[in-house]
Structure 1
Amino acid sequence: MRLSPSDAWAFFRILLIFNAMGCIHSIRCKPRSFRESIIVLEVNSSIDSNPTSIDESSNVVLRYRTPHFRASARVLVPPVAAKEVWTVGWIQACNHMEFYNKYGDNGMSSWELPDLRDCKTQAISDSDGVNYPWYGNTTETCTVAGPTKRDTRFTVSMNDNFYPSVTWGVPVCNSNEPQLSSIRRDQSFTTWLVAINRATAETLVLQTVRWRMRLHIQIDPDKPLGQRARLLEPVTQEQPQILGRNETIPPNAMVKPNANDAQVLMWRPKSGDPVVVIPPKY
């Protein structure tokens, strides 16, 4: 079949375009890399609207449960030509922690992260302590192994909340006499949606979320059990921020120790030297 002059010129222009795109050997271009092709379709993040609940059922400890922070992302990975394995999921780090339990005029106990407290690091990993650097390894991650011939779609999700126990009595005494008078907590976290190449450790930050959990509980230790504690603030937590520009992950957020293993319980009397009640596990 012979082409007319106009058709021949059109075909020649198409060849020039593909030549400019670097596809001179084939009309079909090279597949894009994982870095170029991964698409975050949707990201959602919230903190439940219910207030912190207080449990006074024990005569040894007060327990409270904060609302849940939740994050989820829908991700699409087009066909991967290379023989690569990537894990996509959530990584979290604590970058601020105040956790004070006051015992009237006696002093206070506090859970502390020494390196964070002393400004030796920007953040401490909040991994589950097993699957570093991931927050978890169930709904929190998904692994894509190339080569693949079809699109891969998946959702990764995580949730976090606090459910601690605080002794009614001064933690350095053997007595359970109730003296706990207030609890204050203020913690901040950064949570990243990340893709990591399992072979090369190449790390792509896909989304960054910041969130904070605060509370102030007032306690009257002279009242009967079940009537002592009252949540002062906040009734509703401020909602997380999904950042428009991603933040890099500090090195400490990727490695041991995690926050649970690094924290220490201190007793800080009104007068006298501080005492380590529970040392760090790591």
Structure 2
Amino acid sequence: MDIGLERPDEGDLRLPPCRPRSMPAPPQDCWSVLGIVLVLGAMGCIQSISCKAKGIRESISVVDVKASIDPVPTNIDESSSVVLRYRTPHFRASAQVLMPPILKKETWIVGWIQACNHMEFYNYYGEHGMSSWELPDLLEGKIQAISDSDGVNYPWYGNTTETCTIIGPTKKEAKFSVSMNDNFYPSVTWAVPVSESSVAKLTHIHRDQSFTTWLVATNTTTSEMVTLQTIKWRMKLGIEVTPCKPLGQRAKLREPSAQEQPQILNKNEPIPTSALVKPNANDAQVLMWRPTDGPPLVVIPPKYR
């Protein structure tokens, strides 16, 4: 290792010895010994630097994180003669977070970010065809996931219980909770959506969606982002409909009676860029009509173009 000292020419015997001649010569010349001492000293300095207090991003800790889906079946509502409604059980996530003192004048936001990774949402109308809510970029593989933000507070899922803002400088450690919940409550027309007829033709509903939810801390001053926890969850359902039956007796839940519980991952997954920016899933989705015979038709275009 070069420690920045000039070394004398070993062949120049006119240089004075490093030790008095009465002392025995060391195993190595004095310059090598000096070099070792300086290197060891430098290593000690490096070690002391690494032992200094960690930065804020390494010091944020999650005391407790919970994730669950309510252990109840999907509720079916046939009160309308125009649409069938159903309400799925809620996915719920919560966490307690410890934020160390913020020494600088900067702002941190801690909260939940969610993205949809997969969506199947099909409404079958017997021999006539099916309607389908679709996310084109996700379906075509152009993106890995799409933001499930509320459409206002990107990239956050929401801006009430879902996030907490800490404005520095602060003197004390902050402890707080953030929580979120999500479920589906759609309306599906009894009749074929592209028909002027109001006669019920709906025969089956199939839905299968997967999500990734991240607990994140972001420094809004520097745009630094720290992923604290990653959760994966899925919602599935199947509803069979007998359209010729009287209203209130048509639909029956087939699967599942209880949802799989979410997975809290031991190792965090990276957040795709598409999960942080517009559009969100609600604004990007398209309602298609796919007839048994004939070309598909856009029934409701995306809000975001």
Give the TM-score, by structure 2 length.
Answer: 0.83
Superposition deviation, residue 168 in structure 1 = 0.2
Stretches of structure 1 that go unaligned for 5 or more consecutive residues are 1-16, 24-28
Given candidates 31, 54, 77, the residue that maps to 2:99 is 77
1:113-145 residue CA offsets vs partner (Å, 9 max, x unmatched): 000111111000000000000000000000111
Distance across 2 between alignment mates of 1:273 and 1:117: 18
Partner in structure 1 of residue 144 of structure 2: 122
Superposition deviation, residue 162 in structure 1 = 0.2
Superposition deviation, residue 152 in structure 1 = 0.3
CA contact (8 A) 1:85 1:199 kept: yes
Amino acid aligned to 1:166: V
**Secondary structure at 1:41 match in 2:** strand
Partner in structure 2 of residue 133 of structure 1: 155
Distance across 2 between alignment mates of 1:244 and 1:70: 19
2:297 is aligned with 1:275: yes
**Secondary structure at 1:272 match in 2:** coil
Amino acid aligned to 1:97: M
Indicate the percent of aligned positions where both proteins have the same amino acid. 69
Superposition deviation, residue 200 in structure 1 = 1.5
Partner in structure 1 of residue 269 of structure 2: 247
Partner in structure 2 of residue 218 of structure 1: 240
Partner in structure 2 of residue 43 of structure 1: 65
Amino acid aligned to 1:146: G
Give the TM-score, by structure 1 length.
Answer: 0.90
2:129 is aligned with 1:102: no
1:189-209 residue CA offsets vs partner (Å, 9 max, x unmatched): 000000111012111100000
Superposition deviation, residue 174 in structure 1 = 1.4
Q: Aligned runs of 1:54-73 on 2, under 5 Å?
A: 54-73=76-95
Partner in structure 1 of residue 111 of structure 2: 89
Partner in structure 2 of residue 21 of structure 1: 48
Stretches of structure 2 that go unaligned for 5 or more consecutive residues are 1-43
Given candidates 155, 180, 183, the residue that maps to 1:161 is 183
Q: CA RMSD of the aligned region, Å?
A: 1.5
Superposition deviation, residue 228 in structure 1 = 0.2
Partner in structure 2 of residue 237 of structure 1: 259
Distance across 2 between alignment mates of 1:118 and 1:106: 25
Amino acid aligned to 2:205: I
Distance 1:259 1:93, change over 3 A: same
Amino acid aligned to 2:185: Y
Distance across 2 between alignment mates of 1:136 and 1:30: 36
How many residue pairs get aligned? The number is 261
Partner in structure 2 of residue 33 of structure 1: 55
Superposition deviation, residue 82 in structure 1 = 2.1
Partner in structure 2 of residue 8 of structure 1: none
Distance across 1 between alignment mates of 2:216 and 2:111: 6
CA contact (8 A) 1:33 1:80 kept: no
1:154-191 residue CA offsets vs partner (Å, 9 max, x unmatched): 00000000000000000001111000000000000000
The structure number with the bigger radius of gyration is: 2
Partner in structure 1 of residue 207 of structure 2: 185
